[in-house]
Amino acid sequence: MELFKRVLVAIIFIPVLLWVYYSGGLILIGFLGILSSLCTYELIKMYEKKDVKLLFFNIVLSFSLFYSIAEDLLILSVCILFLVLLFNGARDVFWSRCEGSAVRVSGALMSIIYPSVCFGLMFKLGEFHNTLIPVLAVLIWIVDSFAYFIGMLFGKHRGLFRCSPMKSLEGFIAGVVFAFIGSLAVMFIFPAVYGFKHVMMLTIAAGLFGQYGDLFESVIKRDMKVKDSSSLIPGHGGVLDRFDSLLIAAPIMYLLLQVW
C-alpha cells in the first residue's frame, strides 16, 4: 500500500512539477514560496521534538525572505534577517526566559534561512534558461535512483556517513557518474544552451551536492529523532524530504554559474 501511494503521487505530480519549473514567473515563484513556508513549518515542528518552541510567525518571515531573494531585494533580505533576530529574541527578553534562548534564536534562523535562501536561489536559475530547473530536478532523480539501486546491488563499503549508514561508497560514486552521463545527454539535447562547462557544473551540483543535500537533511532528522520531516506528502514523507537534494544542488548551480 505504501509503495502504491509513492508511485501514484509520483505519476501525478512529476509532470506537474516539471511544468511548474519550466513555466517560471509568477507560477514558479508562488509554488516555491509555498514550499519554503511548508519547509519552515516542518522544521518548526521538528524542533518541538527537541523541546525547542519556535514562533509560527517565522513562516511569514521565511516566505518574505524567499521572495526578497528571488526578486533581488538585497536590503529587504538583510532587514528580514534582522527581524528574525528581533522577534525571536524579544520573546525571551520580555518573558524573562534565559535558558535555551540561544538555541531558540539559532533554531529560528536555521528554520528560515535553510529553505528560503535555497528556494530563492533556485528560482533565480530560471534567469539562465527556463529548462535549467527541470533539468537539474531530473538529474537529481537520476542520481537518487542509480545511487540507490547500484548501492543496493554492489555496495560493499557502507557506514561512511553515520547519518545514513546504509549509503555506500559505490552508490555515491554511481550517483556522480550518472549525473555526468545525464548532463552529457542534456548538452546533446540542448546544444544551443548547454556546453561542456555546464555538463561539469550540473555534475557537481546534482551528483555531488545533490547527494550532500540528502545527507544534510538526514543529519538534522537524526538529531531531531524523526524518520520523516512530516507526513504532508502521502507515501513520501514531508516537503523537506522530497526537496532536500534540490535545496542544496540549486544554490550550488547558481553559484557555479556566477563564478565559472
Specify the DSSP class assigned to residue 53. -
- For CA atoms 148, 139, 46, 236, the dihedral sign is negative
Place of cell 535555497: 118
How far is 201 from 180, CA to CA, in rounded Å?
9
Q: Which stretches does DSSP call E strand in the chain?
A: none
Residue-wise pLDDT tens digits, 56-81: 999 999 999 999 999 999 999 999 99
Q: What's the pLDDT at 168? A: 82
Q: What's the pLDDT at 215? A: 93
Residue 237, helix vs strand vs coil: strand
Q: What's the pLDDT at 96? A: 63
Q: What's the pLDDT at 52? A: 93
Question: Around 257, how many Cα atoms within 13 Å sit in the side-chain half-sphere?
Answer: 20
Positions of the chain with pLDDT under 70? 1-10, 96, 155, 159, 235
Q: What is the pTM of this model?
A: 0.93
Q: What's the pLDDT at 165? A: 76
Sorted by sequence, the CB contacts under 8 Å of residue 98 that are 6+ apart come out as: 92
**Residue 11, exposed/middle/buried by CB under 10 A (0-12, 13-18, 19+)?**
exposed
Q: Are 78 and 211 in contact (CB under 8 A)?
A: no
Count of C-beta atoms within a 10 Å radius of residue 23: 15
Q: What's the pLDDT at 5? A: 60
